[in-house]
Every structure is written in C-alpha cells, then in structure tokens.
Structure 1
Amino acid sequence: MKGWVYNEERELDTAQFADYLNPATTAVVSIDMHRGHLDDSPDCPCPAPRARDVVAPIDSFHDEVRALGVRIVHIKSVLRPGGEDDIHGIPAAWRRTFPLHVGAIPNADAHAIEGSRWTEWVTRVEPGDMRVDTKRRLSAFYPTDLDFLLRNQRIETVVLNGGFTDCCVLNTAFDANNHNYRVIVLRDLVRGTDPHLEGAALAMVSLHLGLVVDSSELLRQWRG
C-alpha cells in the first residue's frame, strides 16, 4: 500500500494496517464543504478558495464510496442566528487571529448562521448519507454528536476529506485519535490555508495520528 509519511510517498506494509482498511467498520467524514467556505462571491463569510478545486473530486469519490457500501457523514458548521454560539458570546478565536494573515473578512459575522445560504451544501449529499449539522468550532467532534453516531454505527476508522487541512481537518484528526478511532486523511481531497500549512498538517497526521493516503489508493485497497 502506498502512503505518505512526512510528505514523502512510501510503500507501507498493508498487513500492518489491515485494521485501518476494513470498509465494514469505516466511515468517510467530509468536513465543511458548504457555501460559507466555498462560495465564489465577495461576501463569502469565511472563504476557503483552494477547497473549491476538490468539490468535484470529492463528489466522485463519494459515488465510489456509496457503491462499495461504505458510510458517509457530512459535517457542517452551523451557528444559532442570535450569535449566542459565537459573536454575541465568547467569539471563536479565528475571527481575530485569521485576519492578521488574510486581512479583514468583510462578512465574517454571517459565517455559518443557521438558515442562511452559507450553510447550504456544495458537495452532493444523498438520502442514504448521514449528516452532522451542529459543528460550532474547529473539530467535527465538538460540540456535536458525531462520536455517538459513529459508535452507534460500530465505526472504528474515520476517513477525512474537506477543509481546512491545517484547521478543521487537523482538529478533527486529533479528536478522532483521542477518541481512539483509527484515522485516515485523504491527501488529494483536503485543502489547507496554503500549500505550506497543508503540508505541515499532513506531516503531523502521518507522524502522530494515522495514515495519509490518496483516495485512489484507498479505493484500490477496499476493492482488493
């Protein structure tokens, strides 16, 4: 099996990671692929423009996943309309720190507001897929019921795609590992703030949290 270790492609011992590769106990977890990150408009409240490139590839991968009977969970950031979860309570740290790097984000207060167009999916969600619509901070596990959902489905391995690699994907990978799930991050189906931070996040995953592989390689292993 081919995988990536510290951003170098390596041949891995498939037998050593056989428990990571059982599709029957695996769920694909797709993170924050909604308009609040991906909309191509000047009022996008938390733009992740690099992730627009993976919308179609993620949809194609999910089609293959469904055909193999592997479960999919779509994660979406949603905040109460009154701002109690964020700007009218203790604001999320990124609202003050991220603009130091990217500059002012004019419509940031609208990010993830429940019922707004910014919470509409961009990737395709099919009726048989599972959804978690209560992500309010960086990890898909906090403060959501994702852990309950996965354990109730007897899931042992999570396969992560989406964005940002160095933010919500990395936080979710850490939390999944700390909850004792096996972690796989799909190198070709995540995007970070920039290539440097994307590479750093993937390197950390590969050293401390789980496997970094390309989606085609994972499909090959599942089919094999």
Structure 2
Amino acid sequence: MRIHVYGKPQDTGDAFEDYLDPGKTAIVSIDMHRGHLDESPDCPCPAPRAREIVKPIDAFHDAARALGVPIIHVRSVLRQSGVDDLKGIPAAWRRTFPLHVGPIPGSDRHAIEGSAWTEFVTKVLPEDLIVETKRRLSAFYPTDLDFLLRNMRVETVVFDGGFTDCCVLNSAFDANNHNYRVLVARDLVRGTDDNLEQAALAMVSLHLGLVADSADILSEWKTRKAKRDAA
C-alpha cells in the first residue's frame, strides 16, 4: 500500500492489510454542500478550494459504489430557530475565523435547516446514506454516525470533503477515538490553505491513520475484491 507519512510517500507492503477490506469499509464525505461550495457571493461559509474536488469525489464515489463500498454523506444542519448555535452558545469559528479571513457576509444563514445552502453539490444516489445532524466540527457530534457505522459492521472509514484542517481532522480524531481504522483520501480533501491542509494530513498520518491517494485506495480495493470473487 502506498501511503503518505508526514507528506512523504512510503510503500508499506502488506503492513496495513486490515485497513483495506472493502467489505468492512464506508466512505464518509463531509460537508460537500452549497453552504461551502456555491459560487454565489451570498455563499454563507465559502470554501472555494473545495470546489475543484467535486467532480473527482463524484468519480471516486462511483468507483467505490461499483465495488460495493457504501457512501455516507454528512452535512451541517442547524435548527431554524438558532437555538443550537447563534441563539445558544455560538460555534467558535463564527468569532475566530473572521480574524483571519475578515467578515463573512451571510454567515448567519450557514447550514440553516431547510435552506438551499444545505443542498449537496456532490452526487447523491438513492442507495447512499445521509447524516445531517452535524452541528459542529466533527461528523460524529452530535450525529448518529457511530450508531450507523456499528450497525453496518464497518471497521474502516475513508474521509473526503472539507475542511481538511477543520471538519475532516476533527472527524478523523473522533473516528480514531471510537476505534475505527481511518483513511483520508489526500487528493479529495481541501483545507483553509495549503499549509494548514498539509499540516492536518501530517497529523493524521502520524497519529490517526493512513493518508493515501484515492487511486491507490481504489486499486487496493479492486485487488481484494478480485481475489474474493475468484475464491
């Protein structure tokens, strides 16, 4: 298996065989919705670097579906009343992130339940699964993702989406803490900027799991599926 450790490629041979069984794996795609990806100036929490991975993520998901790997789409959704954010204890990013990027016009509308901003930009098929009670940074909090994965008998999660240094990293930490094997598709995530993206991937590679290109992940899955089908 070819992975990236602290940004450098390594061939690990069969050392991570237990991470690569497609029959025990699910892809968790994080926050690929209009609230981050819409090109309108009204986009409430823009993540422009992630727009370039929409088509590659769709292609990866199509290939994974063909191999029987389930896709779980996770999106941030906040109650219209604002009780779980703006009118409760607001999420920290609303006050800290603007110190770096400046004011974020329309951020009050981010992820509001029933709004167009919660619509997925990536392809979602009827057989896919959706988790949409993500209120903060991790795909596991306060959602039913762990419950869903346990019932699917999933042992390995593969993350794609954004932000690498924010929601992907937080989700990778939580997945590891819940004792899942973690892979991050390094070409299918995007961070705030390249420096933070690379730093987040380095942290994953040292402490949480494997960082690998999506093509290498698919290649490993195809090899194992072919062996299983031939048996």
TM-score (norm 2): 0.96
Q: Counterpart in 2 of 1:189?
A: 188
* 1:36 corresponds to 2:64: no
* Partner Cα distance (1:19, 1:74) in 2: 24
* 1:3 corresponds to 2:3: yes
Q: Counterpart in 1 of 2:93?
A: 94
Aligned AA for 2:215? S
Q: Counterpart in 1 of 2:12?
A: 12
* 1:151 corresponds to 2:147: no
Gaps of 5+ in 1: none
Gaps of 5+ in 2: 224-231
Listed as ranges, the matches of 1:198-217 within 5 Å are: 198-217=197-216
**Secondary structure, aligned partner of 1:16:** coil
Which consecutive segments of 4 or more residues in structure 1 shift more than 6 A? none
**Secondary structure, aligned partner of 2:202:** helix
Deviation per CA, 1:2-21, whole angstroms, max 9, x where unpaired? 110000111112x2111100
CA RMSD, Structure 1 to Structure 2 (Å): 0.4
* Partner Cα distance (1:12, 1:195) in 2: 26
**Secondary structure, aligned partner of 1:9:** strand
**Secondary structure, aligned partner of 2:64:** helix
**Secondary structure, aligned partner of 2:94:** helix
Listed as ranges, the matches of 1:78-157 within 5 Å are: 78-157=77-156
**Secondary structure, aligned partner of 2:123:** coil
Q: Counterpart in 1 of 2:176?
A: 177
* Partner Cα distance (1:175, 1:52) in 2: 25
Deviation per CA, 1:152-179, whole angstroms, max 9, x where unpaired? 0000000000000000000000000000
* Partner Cα distance (1:41, 1:130) in 2: 27
Deviation per CA, 1:8-43, whole angstroms, max 9, x where unpaired? 111112x21111000000000000000000000111
Q: Counterpart in 2 of 1:161?
A: 160
Q: Counterpart in 2 of 1:76?
A: 75
Q: CA deviation at 1:133?
A: 0.8
Q: Number of residues paired by the alignment?
A: 223
**Secondary structure, aligned partner of 2:150:** helix
* Partner Cα distance (2:122, 2:84) in 1: 25
**Secondary structure, aligned partner of 1:188:** strand
Deviation per CA, 1:70-104, whole angstroms, max 9, x where unpaired? 01100010000010010000000000000000000
